[in-house]
Structure 1
Amino acid sequence: MQHDKAPGRACPVAGASVIDYAATARRLGWGELPAAVRARVAGWTGGRVGSVQLAGGGFTHGFAALVDGPRPLFAKAIALDDPHIAAAYAREVEVLAALPASAPIPALLEHEVVAGWQVLATVPVTGRMPGAPWTVEDARAVHDSCRMSNTVLEAAGPAVVPVAGTMAADWAGFLAGLEGGLEGGLESGADGGGPLTDHGRRPAFLPGWFRGGAGDVLARWILDAASRAPTALAGTTPLNNDLRADNVVIAHAALGGFDAGTAWICDWNFLALGPGWADWVALWPALYDAGLPVAEFTSWELAAGAQEADVDAWLSVLFLYYVQAGSRPPVPTSPELRPHQRLCARQALALLAVRSGC
C-alpha cells in the first residue's frame, strides 16, 4: 500500500534519536545469579561457560546474555518473585514452546525453574541490531522475515492459536481504559500531559507545533482514527505484536537454514492474532524518522492489501499508547524506557501528520 496524501504543511520528523538502543538495559550480571542457576546454564552449554555477553538492548533488568561454551546459548533468568518481569519470562517460555522452528525466530532449547528462578535458553543469533541508522536494506530484511514468520505461523495455527491473544481485544481494552475515555483524550500525567483535545494540556515532550492550537485538527483526526482500531486490527495471523529494532537481530552468518543477513525476530511474549501487516507497519514511524523513502517502504508486499484507514487506526492507537506511557513516572530499573516511549510518540505523530494532511 502506498499512501498518496500530500501533507498540508511541512511536518518535521522527530529528529535523530539520542537513545543508544544497544545500551538501554540495566541487566543482572552473570555473577549476580544464584549458583544453582549458573550451574544449570553451564550444564546446558556442555559443562563449561566461556564468555558471557550481556544483551545491552531492551528495557528490562532480567539476565539476558549470549553464553559461550561447547554449546552456545542465549540465556535468560529472573527470580519468580520479581514483580516486574517474572510473568513476561514465563510467558515467553509458553509462547516459544508453541512456535515452529521453521521461521527466523530463535527456538527455545531449554527451560526450567531453578532455585526459585525462571531460566530459559534459546538458539543464539550472533549479529547486530538494525536501526543505527535504519537502512533500506535492513528494513527490507525485517519486512521479509515478517512475511516468512506470518506464513509459517499461520500454517502452524492449531499449535499457536491457543497461546495467542488478539490484537483487536487487547487494543479495545487499552482504549476503554484510557483515563477520561477516548473522547477525553488522556488524563493529566505526572509530567503535565493532559487531554489530547485540549492543546493547552498536551504533553511537553510532544513538538511545539502540535501543542498549540494548530494541532487541534490533527488531534481530533488521530482520536477518530484510533477509535477504529479494534475493527482495523481484527485478523488471524499470529504476530509478534512488539516489533521494534531492539527485538531484531540481523545475523552475521547463516543459521538454521537462513542466509547471513536474515532478520531474526525475538521476544515473543506479546504474541497475538491480527492483520498480517501490523508488525511491519509498527516500524514505519521509525523508518520515516530515519529518512527512508516513504513511497518505497509503504509499498512493499506486506502492506499491499491493507486499507489506508486501518493503517491510520493502528498508527493512531500506537501514538496514544506511547503518549500515555511516556507520561508516566520514570522506572528505576529501566531509566531509558520513558525517553524511548516519548521518542516513539514523536515519531508516530510526525508520520500521522503527513498521512492525515492536517
Structure 2
Amino acid sequence: MRSRINHLLGARVIAASVPGESGILPGAQIQVQTSQGNAFIKALGTENAGHLDLLRQEITLNPLLPAGAHRPELLWSVDEELPGLGVWVAVGYRMRSTVRPIDLSWPEGDVEALVRAVRSIGEIDAPDDPMFVPEEKTFPVGAWEALADRRPAGLARHSPWLAGRLEGLAEIASHAPEAIAGTSLQHGNLRVQNVLLPMARDEAPLITDWVRGGAGAPFLDLVSMLLHVRVGGGPPPEATLRRYGLPPGIDPDAVTCWIAVLAGHYVRSSMEPPPPDRPQLRSAEHLLALAAVAWLQTRLGF
C-alpha cells in the first residue's frame, strides 16, 4: 500500500498518521507527509459501499468549485476494483502546512475567524452547473408537519416547550422555499472539523469535505455551523450572530425560518433508528436538536 501511495503522490512518503474524528463520510482518512509536501487521503471500500457514490460525487465536484471556496487542491483519485478487495474509491488532496484546526476552548479570535471563513462561502455565487442544486429543492422542510401528524412519544425528550407548538412551527417552516432560496454557494455539510484556520490573518482558511454543493441564501451554512459550534461547547449562536452579524440585507424572519427548519429536521431525524455504519449519528442529532430548539425559543421570544 505504501508503494501505491508513493506512486500516486509522485513522492516518497516520510510519515503517515490518522487524524482525530473528522470528515463526513466513514472510511480511512490519512494525513501523509511526503518529500514534496503534505497530503490528505480519503478512501472507501466495499464495506462502505453505500457511501462510494458520495465520495465519487466529492471527486467530481471539487474542480467545479470556485477558487474563493477555499477548497483543498485535488491531487489524484482512484476508482477501481482491487483483486480480492472489491471496489475502492480514494482521493488525495494537497494539505497546506499553514492551517490548523479550530481551538475547541473557543477563544474569541477563533470564533471570529470561523464566522469569517463560513461567511466567505455565502459571498460567492454558486456555479451554473447541475451539481449545485437549489437548497429549497433538496433540504427536507416538512419535519414539523410530520411530527404534528404523528406526535411521537419521544418528542418529550427534546423539550417540553414543543408541546402544543408543532402546528405553529410547521407554519413557520412552510415559508422555507422562499426563505432559503438564493444563488449563493452552499457547502451543505459543514462541521467544525471541516474548517481549518490560517495561522496568519492575511492567509486563507481551508474548507474541506465538499461532498455536495448547492445554491441558496447566503446565511444557510453560517446558521447551521453555529449549531455545531454550540454543541461543541462554543458560545450561544444568537450571541455570536449579534456580535459578528449576518450578510447585508438578510431578513431576520428568513433566518428564524431556517433555524425552525433545522430544528425540525434534527428532532425528527434523531428519533429514527440509527444507520448500521454510523451508530452515534442519532445521539449527535439529538444534541443538535436541543441546541436548535433552544435557539428557536430565543428567536421567537416565548
- TM-score interval (norm. to shorter): 0.7 to 0.9
Aligned counterpart in structure 1 of residue 213 of structure 2, from 248, 255, 271? 271
- The structure where strand makes up a greater share of residues is 2
Amino acid at match of 1:185: L
* Map of 1:66 onto structure 2: 31
Query: In the alignment, does 2:127 pair up with 1:157?
Result: yes
* Map of 1:195 onto structure 2: 151
> Matched residue of 2:141: which SS?
helix
Distance 2:237 2:225 in 1: 13
Change in CA separation of 1:61 and 1:296 when aligned onto 2, cut-off 3 Å:
closer
* Map of 2:264 onto structure 1: 320
Q: Which runs of 5+ in 2 are unaligned?
A: none
Aligned counterpart in structure 2 of residue 167 of structure 1, from 115, 118, 135? 135
TM superposition shift of 1:315: 0.8
* CA distances 1:6-35 after superposition (whole Å, capped 9, x unpaired): xxxxxxxxxxxxxxxxxxxxxxxxxxxxx4
TM superposition shift of 1:347: 0.4
Aligned counterpart in structure 2 of residue 210 of structure 1, from 155, 161, 164? 161
* CA distances 1:269-313 after superposition (whole Å, capped 9, x unpaired): 221000111111112334556335834533535433211211111
Work out which structure has the larger RCO, using CA pairs closer than 8 Å and 6 or more positions apart in sequence.
1
Distance 1:148 1:314 in 2: 19
Change in CA separation of 1:271 and 1:59 when aligned onto 2, cut-off 3 Å:
closer
* CA distances 1:237-271 after superposition (whole Å, capped 9, x unpaired): 111011221222224469xxx62xx5422111221
Amino acid at match of 2:164: D
C-alpha contact (below 8 Å) 1:286/1:344 kept by paired residues: yes
TM superposition shift of 1:83: 3.1
Distance 2:11 2:282 in 1: 40
> Matched residue of 2:31: which SS?
strand
* Map of 1:239 onto structure 2: 186
* Map of 1:50 onto structure 2: 14
> Matched residue of 2:34: which SS?
coil
* TM-score, structure 1 normalization: 0.72
> Matched residue of 2:14: which SS?
coil
Distance 2:274 2:156 in 1: 15
- CA RMSD in angstroms, aligned pairs only: 2.8
Q: Identity of aligned pairs, percent?
A: 24
Change in CA separation of 1:305 and 1:80 when aligned onto 2, cut-off 3 Å:
farther
Distance 1:125 1:222 in 2: 44
Change in CA separation of 1:266 and 1:293 when aligned onto 2, cut-off 3 Å:
closer
C-alpha contact (below 8 Å) 2:64/2:127 kept by paired residues: no
Amino acid at match of 2:219: W
Amino acid at match of 1:223: A
Distance 1:186 1:263 in 2: 42
Q: Which runs of 5+ in 1 are unaligned?
A: 1-34, 188-193
C-alpha contact (below 8 Å) 1:288/1:294 kept by paired residues: no
C-alpha contact (below 8 Å) 2:188/2:214 kept by paired residues: yes
* CA distances 1:88-112 after superposition (whole Å, capped 9, x unpaired): 1001001102123444221222112
* CA distances 1:207-265 after superposition (whole Å, capped 9, x unpaired): 3x336xxx423x343222111111111101111011221222224469xxx62xx5422
Query: In the alignment, does 2:102 pair up with 1:130?
Result: yes
Change in CA separation of 1:302 and 1:104 when aligned onto 2, cut-off 3 Å:
farther
C-alpha contact (below 8 Å) 1:95/1:271 kept by paired residues: yes
Deviates more, 1:95-104 or 1:239-248: 95-104
Amino acid at match of 2:15: S
Change in CA separation of 1:353 and 1:74 when aligned onto 2, cut-off 3 Å:
same
Deviates more, 1:339-348 or 1:43-52: 43-52
* CA distances 1:22-50 after superposition (whole Å, capped 9, x unpaired): xxxxxxxxxxxxx4xx5432223334223
TM superposition shift of 1:87: 1.3
* TM-score, structure 2 normalization: 0.84
